[in-house]
Amino acid sequence: MMSIFSGTMMLAIFLPKTINEVPALTLNSILLILIMGIFSSAVAYVSWTKAFEVAENAASVSNYTYITPLLTTVLGLAIAKESLNLSKVFGGLIILSGLLLFNSGQLFSKKVEIRRLKMEELEEAARVIRESFATVADEFGLTCDNCPTNGAFTEAKHLRSDLENGNQLFGVFFGRKMIVFFELVYKENQQATLDKVGIIPVERENKYGEFILNNARRIAQNDQMKQINIGIIKENNRLKEWYQRNGYQIVCSENFSHLLFEVLYLQLDIIEEIDNGQAECGQSN
């Protein structure tokens, strides 16, 4: 909203009708400028949002909201067929500088960063995993007694063991706060397992899930892996369908004596597509 207001204000200042003919300013002209500003802002917003989605970094879009006033002004002037001269450009730069400082919370906003975790970050990582898996544990009635290996009960010592075994532990940070965790385990025959995928509940609507899958695939490809495998609760249809929408195919399902649920295995073939069908686990790749 602040960006739309700022862009509309800049557009109004730039238009000669509002600069040179203030006495002739009417309600209709004010409404016209407002509509033009909102329309221009909408076009600008959609444009750079789509650009970041293509760049597979949609989570960072909000960091660049401060650009909208500038794009709004340029688009608005183009729609109004107004030409720019040196004085307008100079004045616009001054106004834009003021708006950027006024909206400095966006200009200097926290950035999204993904990186491998160090030993001293494992306590925070365990907290993220527990918080992320707690909702699923509640949904399926999992407790520390009947399913101690579930992510809802992960402790730093478990992650420390994973790290010492050579697994790759990743965190996604918003500023200094870790909000996402995932782990890649490399096995024989260029197979990778995506494990402990967790997003804190308050961030689940911000497209971090796709962000994780895209980066996990990129990392695995760079490390010469052929497939990425993942195991989930078979009854979790919502999660199963989400993975399928993102290219994962069902491989098989399996029961384990120490688990209350059947495990469904899905696979993403990085090299080529695989059949989207069920099979016995002993017959899977």
CB 231 within 8 A of CB 205: no
d(CA 52, CA 30): 33
**So what's the pLDDT on residue 43?**
66
**So what's the pLDDT on residue 65?**
55
- 158 pLDDT above the threshold of 80: yes
pLDDT-derived band at 206 (thresholds 50, 70, 90) equals confident
* Entry pTM: 0.58
The average pLDDT across 179-195 equals 94
d(CA 195, CA 231): 8
Count CB-CB contacts under 10 A for residue 23.
5
Query: Quick one: 213 exposed, middle or buried, by C-beta within 10 A (0-12, 13-18, 19+)?
Result: buried
The average pLDDT across 239-248 equals 93
pLDDT-derived band at 52 (thresholds 50, 70, 90) equals low
**So what's the pLDDT on residue 267?**
95
d(CA 41, CA 34): 10
- 284 pLDDT above the threshold of 50: no
The average pLDDT across 154-167 equals 94
| Mean of per-residue pLDDT scores for the chain | 76
- 5 pLDDT above the threshold of 60: no
- Helix ranges (H only) for 177-263 are 208-222, 237-245
The average pLDDT across 94-111 equals 52
Taking CA atoms, 254 is separated from 59, 132, 241, 260, 285, in Å, by: 35, 24, 18, 12, 15
184 against 39, higher pLDDT? 184
Q: Which of 14, 4, 65, 66 is closest to 35 using CA atoms? A: 4
- 275 pLDDT above the threshold of 50: no
- 13 pLDDT above the threshold of 70: no
Taking CA atoms, 263 is separated from 15, 35, 130, 227, in Å, by: 63, 54, 20, 18
Residue spans of the domains in the chain: they are 1-108, 112-269
**So what's the pLDDT on residue 18?**
47
**So what's the pLDDT on residue 39?**
65
Q: Do strands 227-233 and 263-269 pair parallel, antiparallel, or not at all (unpaired)?
A: antiparallel
- 263 pLDDT above the threshold of 90: yes
The average pLDDT across 250-274 equals 84
The average pLDDT across 216-224 equals 93
Is 112-269 a CATH 3.40.630.30 domain?
yes
Indicate the SS3 state at residue 27: helix
**So what's the pLDDT on residue 46?**
66
**So what's the pLDDT on residue 131?**
94
Query: Quick one: 136 exposed, middle or buried, by C-beta within 10 A (0-12, 13-18, 19+)?
Result: middle
Indicate the SS3 state at residue 149: coil
**So what's the pLDDT on residue 245?**
93
The average pLDDT across 137-156 equals 91
